[in-house]
Amino acid sequence: MKLKVGIIGLGYLGATTAVAFAKLGHEVIGIDSDSAKIAILESGRVPFYEPGLDEALVEVLAQGNIRFQTTQDANSGSADIHLLCVGTPQSKTGLGADTSYLFAALDSLAPFLLEDSVIAGKSTVPVGTAKELKAHLAQKVDFEPHFAWNPEFLREGTALQDTLLPDRIVLGTDDSWSEKMLRLLYEPITDLGVPLVSIDIPTAELVKVAANSFLATKISFINAMAEVAEVAGADAVKLAEAIGYDERIGNKFLKTGIGFGGGCLPKDIRAFSARAEELGVGHAVGFLREVEEINLRRRTRVIELAREELGSLNGKRVVMLGAAFKPETDDVRDSPAMAVAEQFWSAGANVVIHDPKALENVRRMYPHLETNDNLFDAMDGADLVVLATEWREYRDADPIQLAKLVTNRLVIDGRNALDVGDWRAANWQVLALGRNLERLPVLA
Ligand code: UGA
């Protein structure tokens, strides 16, 4: 059944959700107060790099299933379902989430909202936020609004597939009308056999932060093993492979390296700790502080390794391969690669950053750092190369060709993504996190 769906907030989450639901055949109205963003979307592009999304947007625009506007009006207000997709960034004053954009979204919607419309939050929020939002909205309308929570689990880089074919759909509702409408919204997906978990609203809010906390913990677990492996003469990459064969552990999210970043995992574990403190159960998730500390120590380890080889970093030319927080995105928010680059810069190194997609964002957010769009020019005269984001372009690069460009054949593999044998055969000194690679004498 075709539904009219309002998508409020057209950042990563909202834009992907809008395109995905239009692709599923629903009538989508995307709303965002940023007129520049609306103009880009109307021209058939998304304002960030996400594989496949531009093409899908062009397709749904041509089909007439989607349109965009900067404000709510009677037409958008009458949507069957309004999906709240605005950002919930870390608050400027503490570790908690800033939920003000959600309240503002409801204020704009309230004058046009119909009684039968269902509002479902998709943004990641501290547990209890939906209750506050519903109470806020109830003061602005003369009926009891249908309010639900429907967390999203998409990953940057595979956002569209994750939305169209997710592992599961989670619906948090407290009235049968909301549940019925949301089930209809997802029917094209559940018809494919995707499981749907129908639960209460606080549980749905918690599911999302619990999932991201678990993922962050898994990464920090293997990175903690890397710390031990480094002093014990062991190899954390092989250790991850060996424990990952146990189905109860699984081999996903056990890649050791400079750790997790991005717009979600870091801020979500901080916000979860902050909310748990407010609820008087901070001790229950006290381990998340450790998860973050392990994550930050891995970044510093790269600098230590560099110093062990080069001594003072002052004036050394350090080439960062990668700036994005992971491959297939141009997102540099809380990126481990950028944190490492900043530490080299603070140590006086002459840092130059290359990335296939993220350099525009780097220049905007880190104007003091040097960037270079051309991999070979960037490598010219390098004293040290650091692989910080495992883009295919770097994994496939020819170490023999790169060796001719640098001053010093020294590479730190911050993602354990390079073929150590190939690089060594090209006479590179290869250092890696969590592995005690023999330090070979590098021939001139
Ligand atoms: C994450 C979750 O995976 C999504 O399920 C969730 O919907 C999303 O946050 C969100 O809350 O919106 P995303 O931030 O796109 O998705 O990135 P991930 O694929 O989770 O990677 C996060 C970070 O962990 C990256 O920096 C990546 O390099 C790092 N990572 C990942 C590792 O260091 N090791 C691994 O084994 C896996």
Residues 390-434: pLDDT tens digits?
A: 999 999 999 999 999 999 999 999 999 999 999 999 999 999 999
**If you take atom 21 of ligand 1, which residue's CA is the nearest one?**
260
Q: What is the CA radius of gyration of the chain?
A: 24
User: How far is 366 from 394, CA to CA, in rounded Å?
Assistant: 22
Sites in the chain below the pLDDT cut of 70: 440-444
Nearest to 109 by CA among 76, 158, 135: 76
- pLDDT given for residue 257 in this prediction: 98
Tell me the average pLDDT of the chain.
96
Q: How many CB atoms lie within 10 A of CB 40?
A: 17
Nearest to 433 by CA among 390, 380, 383, 375: 390
User: How far is 389 from 332, CA to CA, in rounded Å?
Assistant: 11
Q: Which atom of ligand 1 is nearest to the CA of 252?
A: 36
- pLDDT given for residue 438 in this prediction: 72
Q: Which atom of ligand 1 is nearest to the CA of 152?
A: 7
- pLDDT given for residue 443 in this prediction: 55
Q: Who contacts 191 (Cβ-Cβ below 8 Å, separation ≥6)?
A: none
Among 212, 297, 321, 335, residue to substitute to test ligand 1 (most atoms within 8 Å of Cβ): 212
Secondary structure (3-state) at 373? coil
Write out residues with Cβ below 6 Å of ligand 1: 124, 152-156, 212, 215, 219, 253-255, 257, 259-262, 264-265, 325-326
Nearest to 104 by CA among 88, 127, 122, 124: 88
- What are the CA-CA distances from residue 61 to residues 45, 67, 165, 199, 374 (Å)? 11, 7, 21, 34, 35
* Span 124-138, pLDDT tens digits: 999 999 999 999 999
Chain-centroid distance of CA 408 in Å reads 34
User: How far is 190 from 307, CA to CA, in rounded Å?
Assistant: 54
- pLDDT given for residue 437 in this prediction: 77
Q: What pTM was estimated for this model as a whole?
A: 0.96
Question: Active-site residue among 264, 269, 320, 339?
Answer: 264
**If you take atom 5 of ligand 1, which residue's CA is the nearest one?**
153
Q: Is 26 exposed, middle or buried (0-12, 13-18, 19+ CB in 10 A)?
A: buried
- pLDDT given for residue 130 in this prediction: 97
Q: Who contacts 169 (Cβ-Cβ below 8 Å, separation ≥6)?
A: 150, 186, 189, 190, 194, 195, 196, 197
Reading phi first (left if > 0) and then psi (alpha if -120 to 50, else beta), residue 111 is in alpha
* C-alpha 212 to ligand 1 mean position (Å): 8
Q: Active site includes 85?
A: no
**If you take atom 9 of ligand 1, which residue's CA is the nearest one?**
264
* C-alpha 275 to ligand 1 mean position (Å): 21
**If you take atom 36 of ligand 1, which residue's CA is the nearest one?**
253
- pLDDT given for residue 202 in this prediction: 98
> Helix 129-138 to helix 201-232 angle, to the nearest 10 degrees?
150
